[in-house]
């Protein structure tokens, strides 16, 4: 009969209290190291995601401003439409958008001739002809229809909002020139749905027009498609649709269509007639200077 030589297993030697503590310390250090590595990866991922959202908003802002320059003169037309699509009111504005969250709006239509709105950061003033005192207003103050002072005076999301990517969705194609809305529903465009990114934005400061924006951008080029605009009470105030310039690769927004969701249910169209680089004199951005000098041009 074949025999097998087997080595006897040595009896386990109990650890001393000091050795046991050392083993537990090594295990705890390994766990802590893995936890720190995981935390570092999560932190890096969160920072990268935040950077991606900021880059997306910067790209969307370039579509809205139509330029990479910070100082612009934008000729703007605002039209309010009745529910049947007929024109209710129409006004013209010259908007000087300047670096550092500064803007000056000159009202050009006869019904508002001589009136101005000045924006310095989160502070807004209305200047009336014949008055030596600027009147403080809020960014939600209506200019015409559902277009507020904040809607007209600002063209930037990247510097005013932080956010996260909710996910990728399918959206109606970008509205083209002449797209018709209906009963306050916003403009629509025919064609197959396109890939888009849904971003949820939170206001970086309390003084902004909207506390929260749900924004949809094109998945590839990050052109703005539509937005839901929420006020401080978190009520949905407006729906915004962005009409891009004609052509296979549009580079700018020609029109923003606002559909009211609180009261009038009318539609307001903000059309950007022209844009050009222009830096205004610093004195134009002083409310007391504007009050003493009704004509700045």
Residue given tokens 């880059």 in the structure block:
55
Residue 192, CA distances (Å) to 79, 241, 242, 247 in order = 29, 17, 17, 17
Taking residues 166-179, what's their average pLDDT?
A: 79
In which band, very low, low, confident or very high, does the pLDDT at 123 lie, cut at 50, 70 and 90? very high
Q: By C-alpha distance, which of 148, 132, 137, 131 is closest to 93?
A: 148
Looking at residue 263, its pLDDT comes to: 77
Looking at residue 155, its pLDDT comes to: 86
Residue 32, CA distances (Å) to 19, 21, 35 in order = 20, 16, 5
Looking at residue 47, its pLDDT comes to: 41
Q: Are 263 and 238 in contact (CB under 8 A)?
A: no
Q: By C-alpha distance, which of 82, 254, 248, 39 is closest to 181?
A: 82
Looking at residue 226, its pLDDT comes to: 97
Domains of the chain: 67-292 (2.50.20.10)
CA distance 184 to 133: 37
Taking residues 110-122, what's their average pLDDT?
A: 93
* Burial class for 261, CB neighbours closer than 10 Å (0-12, 13-18, 19+): middle
Q: What is the mean pLDDT of the chain?
A: 83
CA distance 286 to 101: 14
CA distance 289 to 283: 6
Q: Of the given ranges (70-79, 115-124, 169-178), which has the lowest mean pLDDT?
A: 169-178
For 173-215, the pLDDT digits (tens) are 876 655 544 434 445 556 788 999 999 999 998 889 999 999 9
Cα torsion angle, 92, 98, 104, 106, sign: negative
Looking at residue 173, its pLDDT comes to: 80
């Amino acid at each position: 009969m074949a025999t097998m030589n087997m080595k006897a297993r040595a009896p386990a030697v109990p650890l001393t209290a000091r050795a046991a503590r050392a083993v537990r310390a090594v295990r705890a250090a390994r766990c802590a190291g893995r936890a720190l590595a995981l935390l570092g990866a999560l932190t890096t991922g969160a920072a990268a995601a935040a950077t991606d959202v900021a880059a997306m908003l910067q790209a969307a802002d370039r579509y809205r401003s139509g330029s990479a320059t910070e100082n612009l003169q934008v000729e703007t037309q605002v039209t309010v439409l009745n529910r049947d699509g007929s024109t209710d009111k129409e006004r013209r504005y010259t908007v000087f958008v300047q670096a550092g969250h500064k803007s000056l709006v000159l009202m050009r239509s006869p019904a508002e001739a001589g009136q101005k709105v000045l924006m310095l950061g989160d502070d807004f003033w209305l200047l009336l002809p014949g008055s030596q005192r600027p009147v403080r207003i809020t960014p939600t103050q209506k200019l015409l229809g559902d277009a507020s002072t904040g809607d007209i005076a600002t063209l930037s999301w990247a510097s005013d909002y932080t956010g996260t990517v909710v996910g990728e969705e399918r959206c109606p194609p970008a509205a083209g020139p002449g797209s018709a809305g209906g009963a306050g529903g916003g403009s629509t465009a025919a064609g197959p749905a396109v890939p888009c990114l849904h971003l949820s934005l939170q206001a970086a400061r309390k003084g902004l027009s909207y506390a929260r924006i749900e924004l949809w951008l094109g998945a590839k080029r990050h052109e703005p498609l539509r937005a839901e605009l929420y006020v401080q009470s978190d009520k949905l105030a407006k729906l915004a649709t962005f009409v891009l310039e004609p052509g296979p690769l549009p580079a700018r927004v020609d029109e923003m269509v606002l559909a009211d969701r609180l009261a009038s249910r009318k539609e307001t169209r903000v059309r950007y007639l022209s844009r050009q680089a222009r830096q205004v004199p610093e004195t134009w951005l002083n409310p007391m200077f504007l009050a003493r000098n009704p004509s700045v041009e």
